[in-house]
Amino acid sequence: MAREDLLNRIVEIAKEQGCSQFELINELFQLAIDSDELNFSLKHVIEERKVFETAKISGFVLGLERLWYDLADVAYAKDKRASLKNWFESGVWFAMRYTTNNAQSFSFDQFKNDLSAFTWNAPEMKFELVGKNVSISVTSPRFTEGYTYLFASFLSGAMETFGYKSISQEVSRGIIRLNAVKDGKETGTA
Amino acid sequence: MVKKLAQRKEKKLVYINYDLVEEITKAARRRGETITKFLEEALMQAVKVTSAGYDIKQLGQFFEVMYAQKILGGAFVPLDVLNFLTATACKTDKEHVTDVWFESGKWHGKYLKERFYDPLKALEDFLEASRWDLNEIEVKRFGATARVRCVSTVLSDDATRLLAKFIEGILQGFGYKLQKCDLLKGMIVQEFIDE
């Protein structure tokens, strides 16, 4: 037995998609079972789908991290300055999408959520906002040295777009700690 | 009491494949939920999926890709950054970078072959769901031959070549050998023969 209101909507959806109600419901349950077998709920799959969509709109592509790391290392070794500048600008561009919104605090939260979702290759990514200070820490044992420095530059670019000036940076292979302050004025420990 | 009863949602019988019933029962039990709750949650999500403009089949394909990407170590990178890195890295050590993409493709191919019943279809789904910089993707089998066609309006020359090498590696991982390859900036047309 299932809720009538849901089933009525499913009948409409089946009509829209040109398939039978029976076919649609069975497909759906099969997907729910498949995802459950891999310890994902259907809700989780839909949330992940949204992350992919946002990444697409934000100009990201998905590929194998070891290819990105190798490219990053070769490019960083060849031309550090140009590579850092490119990633910085990319960070500015990415953050710009969020700053066009008038509700600044909501935008920053959205930015944090999206960036954390896109950076699934980093097991730890934390943002701490205290007064006018922001502190970002990223840890990933898989990041190469070049990739770590470039990603730090991306974060700096994004922070500057939100009006934060970097006051300290600690970057070494797989570890990024950035401290920045809004409009260059420190107000306490971040 | 009467009001509460009136507010309760009506229930309806749903017909589902007999084979699914047992699996649904197991899945609901694993989650510690009743079958009704499990089914209603699935139906509710289906309504959300369609409201967001997806269909269930697409979501199934996406789910497979997402799962494989997480296993294989997928990562997002801005397209501009990718093009810049590709250009710079290729200027420095094209041979090394090309080898890395080819080897990585082979590894990728072995995984897809092991995991999917139809690896060529899986490759097409995989490229469609993850490489949004490609406007057109086609992976087709004609007997012992496989044909791959990718078109992009934003891919640089170097990025096109690296992607082609990556795809060649994947097909080699499936057991195919490259027969013909036409590359232009933003366009890949390759033909492979099953070994």
pLDDT digits (tens, 9 = 90+) for B112-130: 999 888 999 999 988 988 8
Residues A79 and A149 in one domain: yes
- Alpha-carbon distance B156 to B187, whole Å? 10
Residues of chain A neighbouring B36 (CB-CB closer than 8 A): 1-2
Is A72:A150 a contact under the CB 8 Å cutoff? Answer: yes
Greater pLDDT, A102 or B92: B92
Judged against a pLDDT cut of 90, whether residue B80 lies above it is answered with no
Residues A79 and A160 in one domain: yes
In this structure, of A7-11, A90-94, A174-178, B147-151, the range with the lowest mean pLDDT score is A7-11
Quickly state the pLDDT bin for A145 (edges 50, 70, 90): very high
Question: pTM score, two decimals?
Answer: 0.76
Domains in chain A: how many in total? 2
Residues A34 and A74 in one domain: no
A46 and B14 within 8 Å at the Cβ level: the answer is no
On whether residue A30 sits in a domain, the answer given is: yes
A3 and B9 within 8 Å at the Cβ level: the answer is yes
Q: What is the pLDDT at residue B79?
A: 85
Judged against a pLDDT cut of 60, whether residue A104 lies above it is answered with no
Residues A108 and A151 in one domain: yes
Residues A80 and A30 in one domain: no
The C-alpha angle A148, A152, A154, rounded to 5 degrees, equals 120
Judged against a pLDDT cut of 50, whether residue B3 lies above it is answered with no
On whether residue A166 sits in a domain, the answer given is: yes
On whether residue A142 sits in a domain, the answer given is: yes
Q: How far is A88 from chain B (nearest CA, A)?
A: 10
> Which of B14, B108, B133 is nearest residue A2 as measured by Cβ atoms?
B14
Quickly state the pLDDT bin for A184 (edges 50, 70, 90): low
Q: Which residues constitute the domain of residue A30? A: 4-39
B111 touches A: beta carbon within 8 Å? no
Average pLDDT score over residue span A152-168: 92
Residues A77 and A16 in one domain: no
On whether residue A55 sits in a domain, the answer given is: no
User: What's the pLDDT tens digit per position in A58-101?
Assistant: 888 888 888 899 999 999 999 999 999 999 999 999 898 888 75
Residues of chain B neighbouring A34 (CB-CB closer than 8 A): 60, 63
Q: Closest residue of A to B88, CA-based?
A: A75
ipTM surpassing 0.85: no
Q: How far is B36 from chain A (nearest CA, A)?
A: 7
Q: Closest residue of B to A94, CA-based?
A: B78
Residues A94 and A151 in one domain: yes
Judged against a pLDDT cut of 90, whether residue B17 lies above it is answered with no
On whether residue A155 sits in a domain, the answer given is: yes
Residues of chain B neighbouring A33 (CB-CB closer than 8 A): 20, 23-24, 27
Residues A127 and A174 in one domain: yes
Residues A108 and A147 in one domain: yes
A68 and B132 within 8 Å at the Cβ level: the answer is no
Q: Can you give B163-174 as a three-state secondary structure string?
A: HHHHHHHHHHHH
Residues of chain B neighbouring A63 (CB-CB closer than 8 A): 74-75, 77, 82, 130-131
R_g of chain B computed on alpha carbons: 22
Instruction: Classify A117 as helix, strand or coil.
Output: helix
Judged against a pLDDT cut of 80, whether residue B57 lies above it is answered with no
Q: What is the pLDDT at residue B52?
A: 67
Residues A31 and A76 in one domain: no
Residues A82 and A173 in one domain: yes
Greater pLDDT, A47 or A158: A158
On whether residue A56 sits in a domain, the answer given is: no
Residues A76 and A26 in one domain: no
- Counted across chains A and B, CB pairs separated by less than 8 A come out at 230
On whether residue A97 sits in a domain, the answer given is: yes
On whether residue A20 sits in a domain, the answer given is: yes
Tokens of B195: 């070994």
